[in-house]
Amino acid sequence: MNSTTHAATSATMRALVGGKGPDWSLEETELPAQLGAVRVQVHAAGLNRADLYALQGTYTANAQGQGPFTAGMEVAGVVETGSPLAPHLPAGTRVMGITVGAFADYVLCHPRLLVPIPDRLGFEEAATLPVGLVTEHDALVTQAGFTAGQSVLIVGGTSAIGLIGVQMAKALGAGTVIATTTSETKRAALLDAGADVAVNTTTEDLAAAVLAATDGRGADITLDHVGGASFAELPQATAIGGTVVSIGRLAGAATTLDLDTVAFRRQRLIGTTFSIRTRAELGDVVAALGEQVLPAVADGRIGPRLDSVHPVSRAAQAARRLRDNAATGKVVLSFADAHTGPPPAADPVAGMFGGIAQIGYVVRDITTSMEHFARVGIGPWFHLEGVRPENFTYRGHPSDMVMDVAVANSGDTQIELITPVNDAPSMYRDFLAAGHEGVQHIAYWTDDYQALYDRARAAGFTVAQEGRIGGADGRFAYLETEHHPGTVVEISDVGGGKKLVFDLIRLAAANWDGTQPVQRIDARLVGGDSTALTDLMEAFG
């Protein structure tokens, strides 16, 4: 499977499916879609012990569901479809994060569980980080209450997550970091990650080594990724009043513990897992990375420890490497061959106009229309007769169009009524001639008109009519954007005196007591005439 944009050419994707046997099966499945979710083109996905446990049926994530499932929980890729809940992650953004179903060409992600990938990292490197970052920071800081200067013991330090823990402890200011391994050949990896002391627990006494490294006190915080029988040694290696956090159970879930040691040393034992946490809880865990951890990733103090990369077709071999404890660092699956073209780009139209500021009606009888609106509580109306826009053009040709205009506010939205009073070409004349009467345009206001005008033209919109009311700060344009008969988009400059007038009209609506529903004002006002503007301001006291 090799396509520029797989989603655009196929309704299916590759996915590694578990729950059908001892290994994953590579299958074609439907592309996922869900309102509010971010869809990510998966370029790389990290393997975790929990993925192997899920295959065995001994681990089920809270969001996984029953029966066969798309495997994987750690992703790096590109946002293909953004979410209105995540305007900071538009299409084309390189992201990494945690999710369910990461072993696929595409995956849906909750916006709070994604963060941008630092520029210095590739996708395969980024895929080594998310699970380790959230696991170690949650255990070290949120659960154990780490503060700078404390000593930290990382048991199982050469696991992919353990290596992140070593780096994180150093980056956050640990006084002494001790890390363990069961392989002499992996000792160097611990020191390279920043450990001050590396202990081979197959040849050294753990408690003695830790006490020697901490002036006899023991580690203030112990993060254990191993469990099993060796967990019984940890209280002796942990300081009086210290904390032991059980994160992983590579050596098994059962142990024999001397509770007297725990009690006499007044220690805290904390167990943690992510399998039963809600997405809201996970979102809080990811958000907690923002202050210290993500900056450390961006500047290189915490970096990837990549063991090997495997194509998705060789997922079984990748799993075997992890299962055999052969890896030092993260084993990663690559899905990059499904996304060989240019990355997705955000729609240039999305969010371009901002919020609707005005709803414009074209009517045959402006006086009757004002009366109808006033009866339902919209007013007071400011009525201008004989408005002739400057430099008005219709489909590129000059037009001497004259109109009557009335405006009032309903909350923050302005209602505009327009009646053309001559037969000069305009979209208003066309609207009425087609038998329509009612909403003719929705308007967006901007104080940077030229920039919005240029973006609209670059996005393919054409201008049907444009002109100017109120001098240089009063430009407007109606775009060819019909999706209902005759109804179009207007963009309008709202700078200078025009903004002041509109603010006064909004204020009048907010304080209207129902009397004097129509105010006839001087048409010179829209041209910025100072006398007319003074008269209007005096009307407001």
pLDDT tens string 85-109: 888 899 999 999 999 999 999 999 9
- 225 and 319, same domain (yes or no): no
- 394 and 504, same domain (yes or no): yes
Does a structural domain hold residue 296? no
Q: What CATH number is attached to the domain comprising 363?
A: 3.10.180.10
Does a structural domain hold residue 317? yes
User: Side by side, which strands form the sheet with 12-18?
Assistant: 25-30, 12-18, 69-70
- 166 and 77, same domain (yes or no): no
Q: For residue 231, what are the CA distances in angstroms to 253, 257, 270, 378? A: 10, 8, 13, 73
Residue 67, pLDDT score: 80
Q: What total number of domains does the chain contain?
A: 3
- Establish whether the linkage from the previous residue to 68 is cis, with ω within 30° of 0: no
- 47 and 170, same domain (yes or no): no
Average pLDDT, the chain: 90
- Of 271, 290, 322, the residue at which a domain comes to its end is 271
Does a structural domain hold residue 64? yes
Token pair of 7 as six digits: 């989603």
Does a structural domain hold residue 480? yes
- 112 and 210, same domain (yes or no): no
- 482 and 462, same domain (yes or no): yes
- 389 and 453, same domain (yes or no): yes
Does a structural domain hold residue 280? no
- Low-confidence stretches of the chain (pLDDT < 50) are 1-8, 528, 530, 533, 536-537, 540-541
CA 435 to chain centre: 46
Q: What CATH number is attached to the domain comprising 238?
A: 3.90.180.10
Strand bridging mode 177-181 / 152-155: parallel
- Residue 468 sits in which domain range? 358-534
- 510 and 366, same domain (yes or no): yes
Crossing angle of the two packed helices 530-539 and 496-510, in degrees rounded to 10: 20
Q: Which residue has the tokens 């590694």?
A: 16
Does a structural domain hold residue 251? yes
- 118 and 146, same domain (yes or no): no
- 403 and 484, same domain (yes or no): yes
The answer to whether 3 and 10 are in contact (CB under 8 A) is yes
Crossing angle of the two packed helices 49-56 and 315-323, in degrees rounded to 10: 100
Collect all residues with Cβ–Cβ distance below 8 Å to 1 and sequence separation of at least 6. 14, 105, 337, 338
State how far the Cα of 505 lies from the Cα of 536, in Å rounded to an integer.
10
Does a structural domain hold residue 474? yes
- 59 and 186, same domain (yes or no): no
- 495 and 372, same domain (yes or no): yes
Q: For residue 112, what are the CA distances in angstroms to 83, 96, 320? A: 11, 11, 32
Does a structural domain hold residue 191? yes
**DSSP assignment, residue 526?**
G
